[in-house]
Chains A and B, each alone.
Chain A
Amino acid sequence: MAESKVAPAIVPGEIAARGVSKSYGAVRFRKEIVRDCSFTIERAKLTVMVGPSGCGKSTLIRLLAGFEQPSAGTVTLDGATISGPGRDRLVVFQETALFPWMTTWDNILYGPRARGQLTKEALEFGEFLLVKVGLQEFRDKYPGQLSGGMQRRAELARAMINNPKVMILDEPFRGLDAMTKELMWEYYSRLYEENRRTNFFVTTDIDEAVFLADRVLVMSNIPTQVRAVIDVDLPRPRKLSDLVESDRANDIKKQALSILHAEAMRSFSRGSKAAADFVEAYLKRASRA
Chain B
Amino acid sequence: MKKMLSNPVFWRGVASIAVFLILWEIGSRSKQWMAPEFFTPFKEFLGAMGFKKDYLPWVGAVPAPSAVLDSWTAVFVDASYWQSWYMSFFRVMSGFIAAMIIGIPFGLSLAMSRVAHGIGFPVFEVLRPIPPLAWVPASIIFWPTQESAIAFITFLGAFYTIVINVLGGARSIDVRYFQAAQSMGASRADIFRRIVLPGTLPSIVVGSAVGMGITWEVVVAAEMISGGGSQIGGTRGGGLGFFIWLSYVGGSYEQIVVGMISIGIAGFASSELLRWLGRYATPWLKAR
Contact = CB atoms under 8 A, between A and B. Distances in A.
Given A115-B186, A142-B284, A65 B179 contact: yes
Interface stretch (A7-15, A70-78, A92-100): A92-100
Contacts of B282: 101
A145 B287 CA distance: 6
Given A100-B284, A101-B201, A85 B176 contact: no
Main secondary structure of the interface of A (DSSP, over half): loop
Identify which of A85, A91, A115, A142 gathers the most chain B CB atoms within 10 Å of its CB.
A85
B73 interface: no
Interface stretch (B3-11, B191-199, B238-246, B262-270): B191-199
B184 A90 contact: yes
Interface in A222-268: none
Interface in A150-179: 158, 162
Contact of B190 (A97, A101, A114): A114
Contact of A162 (B182, B184, B201): B184
A101 B196 CA distance: 11
Interface in B161-184: 174, 176-177, 179-184
Interface string A41-84: 00000000000000000000000011100000000000000000
Nearest to A90: B183
A86 interface: yes
B179 A87 contact: no
Contact of A114 (B176, B179, B194, B198): B194
Interface string B54-77: 000000000000000000000000
A200 to B, nearest CB: 14
Interface in B271-288: 282-285, 287-288
Nearest to B183: A85
B195 A99 contact: yes
A192 interface: no
B187 interface: yes
Contacts of A66: 183
Nearest to B179: A67
A141 B287 CA distance: 8
B287 A99 contact: no
B178 to A, nearest CB: 9
Contacts of A67: 179, 182
B287 A65 contact: no
Contacts of A89: 183
Given A87-B184, A101-B201, A145 B176 contact: no
B177 A114 contact: no
A114 B184 contact: yes
Contact of A86 (B181, B185, B201): B185
Contacts of B181: 110, 114
Contacts, number: 71
* Contact-size category for B: 20 to 34
A111 interface: yes
A141 B283 CA distance: 10
A100 to B, nearest CB: 5
A144 B185 contact: no
Nearest to B287: A142
Interface in A90-140: 90-91, 93, 97, 99-102, 110-111, 114-115
Contacts of B177: 97, 99
B32 to A, nearest CB: 58
Contacts of A110: 181, 184, 186, 194
Contacts of B285: 144
Contact of A142 (B176, B184, B187, B283): B283
B197 to A, nearest CB: 9
Identify which of A110, A114, A158 gathers the most chain B CB atoms within 10 Å of its CB.
A114
A158 B177 CA distance: 13
A111 B284 contact: no
Identify which of B184, B195, B201 gathers the most chain A CB atoms within 10 Å of its CB.
B184
Interface of A: 65-67, 85-87, 89-91, 93, 97, 99-102, 110-111, 114-115, 141-145, 158, 162
Interface of B: 174, 176-177, 179-187, 190, 194-195, 198-199, 201, 282-285, 287-288
16 contacts: A67-B182, A86-B185, A89-B183, A97-B179, A99-B180, A101-B201, A101-B284, A102-B198, A110-B184, A110-B186, A114-B184, A115-B185, A142-B284, A144-B287, A145-B287, A162-B184
Given A90-B183, A100-B284, A142-B283, 16 more contacts: A65-B183, A66-B183, A67-B179, A85-B182, A91-B180, A91-B183, A99-B194, A99-B198, A101-B282, A101-B284, A102-B198, A111-B184, A115-B186, A144-B284, A144-B288, A162-B185
Sorted nearest first, the 6 A-B pairs with minimum C-beta distance are A114-B186, A111-B184, A101-B198, A85-B183, A142-B284, A97-B176
